[in-house]
């Protein structure tokens, strides 16, 4: 039996946007902390630390996010550890986001001219002081466009959490469509909502990149 799309369905989709944003912020916040720690490990002067960070990053980047979610949500439950869907989604995205942000930020740090490091050495700054006071502040500015661009990908990746039952925007669209069977209308609205969330961030990332390119000329 099919029905008609109503304001109640629209309100339900609108509420699910909040969960999409919440999961995106959770993934970006926790993944950012993990990514920063991994970035420091990747540029460490300790070889074993660099190897461990590299192994983690390559392992996580080599596994699809969907498989990570399956392992955390379904796999751990086999051993008696049943996690709520939002917790499993947050942990899975934390692993995934941290691996990619670590690579983005490492590239920005290593893109800093060697003269910056040499000047800091002349001032008798330690390695950590050089990173904290000289390199990272400049690298942070350089990293803004790719970081914001990756945030757009995080928002869209939250749709994968629907496969473990977390009711974000995509899952809400599936529930509404199952009740009225109007896939073109329902998923068209879902796509429009994602566009409204992502387009301003995409334009912001592009404008920052343009300003950086102009400043570097």
Please report the pLDDT score of residue 96 as a whole number.
95
Instruction: Tell me which of 65-69, 113-117, 208-212 is least confident.
Output: 208-212
Contact criterion met (CB below 8 Å) for 157 and 93: yes
82: left (phi over 0), alpha (psi -120 to 50) or beta: beta
Please write the tens of the pLDDT for every residue from 131-170.
Answer: 787 888 888 888 888 999 999 999 999 999 999 989 999 9
Q: Read off the pLDDT of each residue in 1-28 and give the average, rounded to a whole number.
A: 89
Model confidence at 2, pLDDT cuts 50, 70, 90, reads low
Domains of the chain: 7-212 (1.10.3720.10)
Tell me the whole-structure pTM to 2 decimals.
0.88
Is pLDDT above 70 for 215? no
Closest to 191 (Cα-Cα) out of 165, 155, 145:
155
Distance CA 93, CA 83 (A): 14
Closest to 2 (Cα-Cα) out of 163, 170, 186:
186
Closest to 164 (Cα-Cα) out of 29, 22, 65, 95:
65
């Amino acid at each position: 039996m099919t029905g008609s799309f109503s304001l109640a369905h629209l309100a339900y989709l609108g509420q699910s946007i909040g969960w999409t944003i919440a999961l995106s912020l959770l993934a970006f916040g926790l993944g950012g902390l993990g990514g920063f720690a991994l970035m420091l490990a990747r540029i460490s002067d300790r070889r074993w630390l660099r190897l461990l960070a590299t192994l983690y990053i390559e392992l996580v980047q080599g596994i699809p996010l969907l498989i990570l979610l399956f392992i955390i949500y379904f796999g751990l439950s086999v051993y008696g550890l049943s996690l709520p869907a939002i917790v499993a989604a947050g942990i899975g995205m934390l692993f995934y986001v941290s691996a990619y942000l670590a690579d983005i930020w490492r590239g920005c740090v290593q893109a800093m001219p060697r003269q910056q490091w040499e000047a800091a050495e002349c001032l008798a700054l330690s390695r950590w002081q050089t990173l904290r006071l000289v390199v990272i502040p400049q690298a942070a500015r350089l990293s803004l466009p790719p970081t914001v661009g990756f945030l757009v990908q995080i928002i869209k990746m939250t749709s994968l959490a629907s496969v473990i039952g977390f009711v974000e925007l995509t899952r809400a669209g599936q529930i509404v469509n199952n009740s009225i069977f109007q896939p073109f209308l329902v998923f068209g609205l879902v796509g429009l909502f994602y566009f409204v969330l992502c387009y301003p961030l995409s334009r912001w990332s592009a404008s920052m990149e343009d300003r950086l390119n102009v400043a570097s000329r």
